[in-house]
Amino acid sequence: MKRSLLSAFAAVLLTLPALAVDFSLSPDWAKLPAGGPQLGNMHGDVAVSSKGEVYVSVMDPANGVLVFGTDGRLARALKGAPNDFHGFLIHREAGGEFIYGARLTEQTIVKLTLDGKVVLEIPASAIPDAVKMRQPAPAPNAPPPAPGTPAPGTPVLRLSGMAVAPNGDLYVTDGYGTSNVHRFDRTGKYLATFGGKEPPYGFKTLHKIILDTRFTPARLLGCDRENMRLVHLSLEGKFLGVYATDLLRPSALAIHGDTVAVGELRGRVTLLDKAGKVITTLGTNPNADEVATNKTDPAKWRAGIFNAAHGVAFNEHGDLFVSEWTLFGRMHRFDRK
The least confident of 31-35, 245-249, 264-268, 323-327 is: 31-35
5 in a structural domain: no
The answer to whether 196 and 178 have CB atoms below 8 angstroms apart is yes
Q: Which residues contact 97 (CB under 8 A, 6 or more apart)?
A: 49, 50, 90, 91, 114
Greater pLDDT, 79 or 307: 307
Return left, alpha or beta for 241; rule: phi > 0 is left, psi -120 to 50 is alpha, else beta: left
78 in a structural domain: yes
pLDDT band at 36 (very low <50, low <70, confident <90, very high): low
Tell me: the pLDDT tens digits for 257-302? 999 999 999 999 999 999 999 999 999 999 999 999 999 999 999 9
pTM value?
0.92
**pLDDT value of position 63:** 87
Work out the average pLDDT over 130-144: 91
C-alpha to C-alpha distances, 131 to 199, 224, 321, nearest whole angstrom: 16, 19, 34
The residue among 156, 110, 107, 152 whose CA lies nearest residue 132 is 156
**pLDDT value of position 37:** 63
The least confident of 6-20, 95-109, 184-198 is: 6-20
Per the structure, the count of domains in the chain is 1
Tell me: the pLDDT tens digits for 1-25? 444 443 443 333 333 334 456 899 9
What burial letters (b/e) apply to 249-278, b meaning 16+ CB within 10 Å?
A: bbbbbbbbeebbbbbbbbbbbbbbbeebeb
- The parent domain of residue 176 ranges over 23-134+150-336
Cα gap 252→91, rounded to integer Å: 17
The answer to whether 325 and 265 have CB atoms below 8 angstroms apart is yes
The least confident of 58-72, 110-124, 140-154 is: 140-154
**pLDDT value of position 237:** 98
Torsion of CA 185, 187, 189, 193, to 10 degrees: 30
Cα gap 55→323, rounded to integer Å: 10
Cα gap 147→202, rounded to integer Å: 33
The least confident of 17-21, 160-164, 178-182 is: 17-21
Work out the average pLDDT over 18-33: 80
298 in a structural domain: yes
SS3 readout for 38-101: CCCCECCCEEECCCCCEEEECCCCCEEEEEECCCCEEEEEEECCCCCEEEEEEEEECCEEEEEE
**pLDDT value of position 28:** 84
Greater pLDDT, 161 or 139: 161
176 in a structural domain: yes
156 in a structural domain: yes
State the CATH number of the domain containing residue 329. 2.120.10.30
The answer to whether 116 and 65 have CB atoms below 8 angstroms apart is yes
Tell me: the pLDDT tens digits for 201-260? 999 999 999 999 999 999 999 999 999 999 999 999 999 999 999 999 999 999 999 999
H or E segment and range at residue 272 = strand 268-272
**Which of 37-51, 72-86, 253-267 tops mean pLDDT?**
253-267
C-alpha to C-alpha distances, 272 to 111, 123, 244, nearest whole angstrom: 30, 36, 9
Average pLDDT score over the chain: 92
140 in a structural domain: no
16 in a structural domain: no
E strand intervals along 140-205? 155-156, 161-164, 170-173, 180-184, 190-195
Work out the average pLDDT over 123-142: 94
Maximum distance among all Cα pairs of the chain, rounded to whole angstroms: 81
**pLDDT value of position 180:** 98
Percentage of the chain exceeding pLDDT 90: 84
Work out the average pLDDT over 64-71: 95
pLDDT band at 62 (very low <50, low <70, confident <90, very high): confident
**pLDDT value of position 119:** 96
231 in a structural domain: yes
Work out the average pLDDT over 55-72: 94
